[in-house]
């Protein structure tokens, strides 16, 4: 099958959708062997069908701010593929949101969800609404207006959104309240819900915890672990928080966090009360990490920079896409990094990934490393369907087991002749095969 031609055709069809095209290219580049070994995929147009979303829905979201001024944002839901289960994927509220970013995230989600072994298809959605600096009342009115359109498109057996950048427990609560009122039913239509009304223990920290469990398995292939390791983390949101907490628990020392304004380097390590302070900073809806350096005088603030220039053993980008470029990767390699595990979705550029692979650095792609978030969302859906609530230990044990299994699948499909584990290939092939075979079974639809 000519994957290059398929890619070129896609580029012609969707010019300018850079993140989406980047994500598709990255997957197709790793599927050559699989499609060669499975000619039925070509005969049934599996690749052409899997790279286009089933449907893309866009809508206008008008809302009124605290001063009575009317604003209009754009809302989206990309329902990408439901071969193995209902569409599932988060909602992102950030001014950078556009169709290309949501299509890239929805496409990645297909393979990520497949890797979890739970029955979930791929989707993504969101809005260019910026929650930063907005009052809680404004956020509530926006979420209600957003759900006024979204509710007809989703359902517990159809499409189950969750959080992502800019969408945490508060926003999920406001959206769920509106869904419940419109649909007149109390069902598991969103995940990341509050504990008192259908949420799962561990869900808020699951993506970060899962990412660290995965990185721990990666380190295990080199007979080592987090104990005594210096770790650079970017972001200071939901994923970064969970990762920092778990790394600290496992004996590692996290020395950086970052925001769009720059990064903090704290050589004494970010743990305990400092993590608590971070949570307060996040809750303030502000766009900055700088205040951390006033609060904890040993820490330094580096304006406008990414943390990849510091010396570390493990790097975990947990903020956003394409935040780690070729030069950053070269710096990390020069400074002796042994493992890079992506907590965010596609934070490393293709050139950065090539650099890590060239130097045989352990490199775990987001779709495998951060799958613990959606896996725990899947566990939340199961608990909702069964109308039960598992204990913290039970959810954590299941999450840990899922991450170990995802790692094993990457090793099984990604180990090269020289023993190097190509986690990118491993994750793509393992995730793809399950969905492709399901599509084969279900005919051309
Ligand atoms: P949050 O909104 O909680 O945090 C995002 C963090 O990244 C914040 O520190 C934010 O800073 C920073 N950030 C956002 N946009 C930019 C930007 N353009 N430039 C620099 N920094 C930026 O989001 P999450 O922690 O939930 O998500 C982080 C990443 O993890 C995303 O890639 C997301 O898709 C991925 N992910 C999240 C999952 C989840 O369960 N939440 C599951 C799987 C993946 P600031 O707030 O100051 O803008």
Let me know the angle formed at the C-alpha of 194 by 191 and 199, rounded to the nearest 5 degrees.
50
- pLDDT by residue (tens digit) across 368-378? 999 999 999 99
- pLDDT by residue (tens digit) across 223-234? 999 999 999 999
With cut-offs at 50, 70 and 90, classify the pLDDT of residue 278: confident
Same domain, 272 and 288: yes
Q: Which residues contact 37 (CB under 8 A, 6 or more apart)?
A: none
The last residue of one of the domains, among 192, 218, 251, is: 192
- pLDDT by residue (tens digit) across 15-57? 999 999 999 999 999 999 999 999 999 999 999 999 999 999 9
What per-residue confidence (pLDDT) applies to 287? 61
Same domain, 319 and 435: no
What per-residue confidence (pLDDT) applies to 286? 67
Same domain, 45 and 184: no
Nearest C-alpha to atom 29 of ligand 1 is from which residue?
A: 344
Q: Which residues contact 276 (CB under 8 A, 6 or more apart)?
A: none
- Determine, yes or no, domain membership for 400: no
| Contact of 380 with 189, CB cutoff 8 Å | no
The number of distinct structural domains making up the chain is 3
Q: Say if strands 122-127 and 70-81 run parallel, antiparallel, or are unpaired.
A: antiparallel
- Determine, yes or no, domain membership for 409: no
The last residue of one of the domains, among 325, 352, 369, is: 369
With cut-offs at 50, 70 and 90, classify the pLDDT of residue 157: very high
Same domain, 45 and 123: no
Same domain, 109 and 228: no
Percent of the chain whose pLDDT exceeds 90: 95
Residue 151 pLDDT more than 80?
Answer: yes
CATH number of domain containing 79: 3.40.50.10860
- Determine, yes or no, domain membership for 40: yes
- pLDDT by residue (tens digit) across 280-298? 888 876 667 888 999 998 9
The verdict on the CB of residue 319 being under 6 Å from ligand 1 is yes
DSSP category for residue 91: E
Question: How many Cα atoms occupy the beta-carbon half-sphere of 191 within 13 Å?
Answer: 31
With cut-offs at 50, 70 and 90, classify the pLDDT of residue 366: very high
Given the CA of residue 347, which atom of ligand 1 is nearest to it? 32
What per-residue confidence (pLDDT) applies to 281? 81
What per-residue confidence (pLDDT) applies to 369? 98
Given the CA of residue 257, which atom of ligand 1 is nearest to it? 9
- Determine, yes or no, domain membership for 358: yes
The verdict on the CB of residue 287 being under 6 Å from ligand 1 is yes
The verdict on the CB of residue 238 being under 6 Å from ligand 1 is yes
Same domain, 156 and 256: no
Question: Which residues are catalytically annotated?
Answer: 124
What per-residue confidence (pLDDT) applies to 289? 87
What per-residue confidence (pLDDT) applies to 280? 86
Same domain, 364 and 255: yes
Question: What are the Cα distances from residue 208, in Å, to 30, 202, 237, 256, 423?
Answer: 26, 10, 10, 15, 19
- Determine, yes or no, domain membership for 218: yes
Average of per-residue pLDDT across 191-195: 97
Same domain, 25 and 58: no
Question: b/e string for 403-442 if b means 16 or more Cβ within 10 A?
Answer: bebbbebbbebbbeeeeebbbbbbbbbbbbbbbbbbbbee
Residue 1 pLDDT more than 80?
Answer: no
Same domain, 320 and 285: yes
Q: Cα separation of 18 and 101, whole Å? A: 8
The verdict on the CB of residue 260 being under 6 Å from ligand 1 is yes
- Determine, yes or no, domain membership for 141: yes
What per-residue confidence (pLDDT) applies to 283? 80
What per-residue confidence (pLDDT) applies to 282? 82
- Determine, yes or no, domain membership for 390: no
pTM, to two decimals = 0.96
Same domain, 145 and 187: yes
Percent of the chain whose pLDDT exceeds 70: 99
Tell which phi-psi region holds residue 422, choosing left (phi > 0), alpha (psi between -120 and 50) or beta: beta
- pLDDT by residue (tens digit) across 86-120? 999 999 999 999 999 999 999 999 999 999 999 99
What per-residue confidence (pLDDT) applies to 285? 67
Same domain, 174 and 232: no
Residue 393 pLDDT more than 90?
Answer: yes
Residue 74 pLDDT more than 70?
Answer: yes
Question: How many Cα atoms occupy the beta-carbon half-sphere of 74 within 13 Å?
Answer: 14
CATH number of domain containing 362: 3.40.50.720
Same domain, 234 and 351: yes
Given the CA of residue 240, which atom of ligand 1 is nearest to it? 25
**Distance between Cα 18 and ligand 1 center (Å):** 19
- pLDDT by residue (tens digit) across 300-328? 999 999 999 999 999 999 999 999 999 99
| Contact of 137 with 68, CB cutoff 8 Å | no
Encode 379-443 in three state secondary structure. HHHHHHHHCCCCCHHHHHHHHHHHHHHHHHHHHHHHECCCCCECHHHHHHHHHHHHHHHHHHHHC
Residue 443, burial from CB neighbour count under 10 angstroms (0-12, 13-18, 19+): exposed
Residue 191 pLDDT more than 80?
Answer: yes
| Contact of 315 with 212, CB cutoff 8 Å | no
Average of per-residue pLDDT across 353-360: 98
Mean pLDDT, the chain, as a whole number?
96
Nearest C-alpha to atom 20 of ligand 1 is from which residue?
A: 260
User: How many C-beta neighbours within 10 Å does residue 198 have?
Assistant: 20
The last residue of one of the domains, among 141, 166, 192, is: 192
- Determine, yes or no, domain membership for 243: yes
Residue 247 pLDDT more than 90?
Answer: yes
The verdict on the CB of residue 256 being under 6 Å from ligand 1 is no
What per-residue confidence (pLDDT) applies to 288? 74
Domain range holding 437?
A: 1-51+425-445
- pLDDT by residue (tens digit) across 415-443? 999 999 999 999 999 999 999 999 999 99
| Contact of 340 with 356, CB cutoff 8 Å | yes
């Amino acid at each position: 099958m000519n994957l290059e031609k398929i890619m070129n055709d896609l580029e012609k069809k969707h010019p300018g959708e850079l993140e989406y095209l980047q994500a598709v290219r990255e997957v197709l580049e790793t599927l050559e062997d699989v499609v060669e070994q499975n000619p039925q995929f070509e005969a049934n147009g599996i690749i052409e069908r899997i790279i286009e979303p089933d449907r893309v829905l866009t809508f206008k979201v008008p809302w009124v701010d605290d001063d009575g001024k009317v604003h209009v944002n754009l809302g989206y839901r990309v329902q990408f593929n439901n071969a193995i289960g209902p569409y599932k994927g988060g909602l992102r509220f950030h001014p950078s949101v556009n169709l290309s970013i949501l299509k890239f995230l929805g496409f990645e989600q297909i393979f990520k969800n497949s890797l979890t072994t739970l029955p979930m298809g791929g989707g993504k959605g969101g809005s260019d609404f910026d929650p930063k600096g907005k009052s809680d009342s404004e956020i509530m009115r926006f979420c209600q207006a957003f759900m006024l359109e979204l509710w007809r498109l989703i359902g517990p057996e159809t499409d189950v959104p969750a959080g992502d950048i800019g969408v945490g427990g508060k926003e999920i609560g406001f959206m769920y309240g509106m869904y419940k009122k419109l649909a007149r039913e109390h069902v598991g239509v969103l995940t990341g819900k509050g504990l008192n009304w259908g949420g799962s223990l561990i869900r808020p920290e699951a993506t970060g915890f899962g990412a660290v469990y995965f990185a721990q398995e990666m380190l295990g292939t080199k007979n080592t672990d987090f104990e005594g390791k210096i770790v650079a983390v970017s972001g200071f949101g939901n994923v970064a928080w969970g990762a920092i907490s778990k790394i600290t628990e496992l004996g590692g020392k996290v020395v950086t966090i970052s925001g769009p304004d720059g990064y903090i380097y704290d050589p004494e390590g970010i743990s305990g009360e400092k993590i608590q302070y971070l949570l307060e900073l996040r809750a303030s809806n502000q766009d900055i990490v700088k205040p951390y350096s006033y609060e904890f005088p040993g820490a330094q603030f580096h304006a406008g920079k990414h943390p990849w220039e510091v010396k570390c053993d493990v790097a975990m980008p947990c903020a956003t896409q394409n935040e780690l470029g070729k030069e950053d990767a070269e710096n990390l390699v020069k400074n002796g990094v042994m493992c890079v595990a992506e907590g965010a979705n596609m934070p490393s550029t293709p050139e950065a990934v090539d650099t890590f692979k060239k130097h045989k650095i352990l490199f775990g792609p987001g779709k495998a490393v951060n799958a613990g978030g959606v896996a725990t969302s899947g566990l939340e859906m199961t608990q909702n369907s069964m109308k039960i609530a598992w204990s913290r230990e039970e959810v954590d044990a299941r999450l840990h087991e899922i991450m170990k299994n995802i790692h094993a699948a990457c090793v099984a499909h990604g180990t090269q002749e020289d023993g190097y584990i190509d986690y990118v290939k491993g994750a793509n092939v393992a995730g793809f095969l399950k969905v492709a075979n399901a599509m084969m079974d279900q005919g051309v639809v």
